[in-house]
Amino acid sequence: MMLMFTLQLMVAGIATGSVYALIALGIVLIYKCSGVVNFAQGAFVMLGAYLTYGLVKLGLPPYVALLGAMILMAGCGVASERLVLRPMMKAPLVAVMTVTLGMLILVKAVCLAVWGPDQLAFPRLFPDGALDVFGIFITYNYLAAFVLSICLSVGFLAFYQLTPIGLMQRCTADNPRAALAIGIHTSNQISLAWSMSAALAGIGGALLASLNGLSLGLSDIGLVAFPVIVLGGLTSLTGALVAGLLLGVLQALTDGLLTPVAEQFLRTHTSIYSAGALQQVVPYALLVVVLLVRPEGIFGQRGTERL
């Protein structure tokens, strides 16, 4: 019974982790191309979910709304880079990172003003029901989120590695001056990186909202993505994919197995009755361990700049 329960938790964790990976890919892409650690990724996650919700309320079918939100988020990514980040190209890196944090706060305030503080019922993207796989029930919601996230992640990696545009992206990331010398418009490639990052985050936000509901708390997922990229390696796209899955599983196992034990202990020995936040501690505890043991991450290379 315990084995089946653990496997059930792992299924949920893999589905959530695949979405984490999708979001983290965008952060790694921006960092590789521009050297900026984008703290506004959580804003893109949240805004993508709210835009999908808004488009459905306007009468669009859910899948069309999801596609429309992805396109709108790509535009938001370009606008963010060109209007906010590009004028600060020569500013200190800390100042640029602070601006991305300001973008997060601004977008969250806009969403609060437009949609309010309450959790909203997100439109159903996938049908009800579940698959019974040897006694493990996999809901269509989790299955679809996993399949879509993995397909998008693998498709993005293939695009990045195998296409001419991907080659220009890699050249811009590896040596911007050399890329300019051979005729690559590096500024356009950076804009494209922000566009793709925002689109991936927007889809990730919609998928997470379909699993857990729509609220302003989705912006916190951007912070969860940072332990993912540190674990996988700050410049490793493959590492982000693997680390996202791993973190999702660890969070699910913590919530399902460790939290009840911790709550029982707290009720017995203290006046605290809930350990629900334990799941939220896992990513940052893992972040500390990785920074102490292997700062460059699992797939990172020696010499990678630390956060």
Q: How high is the mean pLDDT in each 10-residue block of the chain (307 residues)? A: 83 91 91 86 94 94 93 94 88 88 93 92 85 83 91 90 89 86 89 94 93 88 84 83 89 80 68 61 80 78 52
Phi, psi of 39 (to 5 degrees): -75, -5
Say what the pTM is. Answer: 0.88
Cβ-Cβ contacts under 8 Å for 237 (sequence gap 6 or more)? 25, 28, 29, 32, 156, 157, 160
DSSP conformation class of 36: -
Are 36 and 97 in contact, with CB atoms under 8 Å apart? yes
Name the strand (E) or helix (H) holding 201.
helix 186-212
Closest CA to 34 of 208, 203, 179: 179
- Residue ranges per structural domain of the chain: 10-217
Quote the pLDDT of residue 272. Answer: 57
Cβ-Cβ contacts under 8 Å for 180 (sequence gap 6 or more)? 186
Tokens of 52: 């999908």
Question: 70-73: which pairs have CB atoms within 8 A and are 24 or more residues apart?
Answer: 70/199, 70/202, 70/203, 71/199, 72/202, 73/44, 73/47, 73/48, 73/198, 73/199, 73/201, 73/202, 73/203
Quote the pLDDT of residue 91. Answer: 84
Three-state DSSP class for residue 34: helix
DSSP for 218-267, written as a single string? GGGHHHHHHHHHHHH-TT-HHHHHHHHHHHHHHHHHIIIIIHHHHHHHHH
Three-state DSSP class for residue 183: coil
Amino acid identity of residue 96, one-letter, is: V
Sign of CA dihedral 55, 56, 60, 63: positive
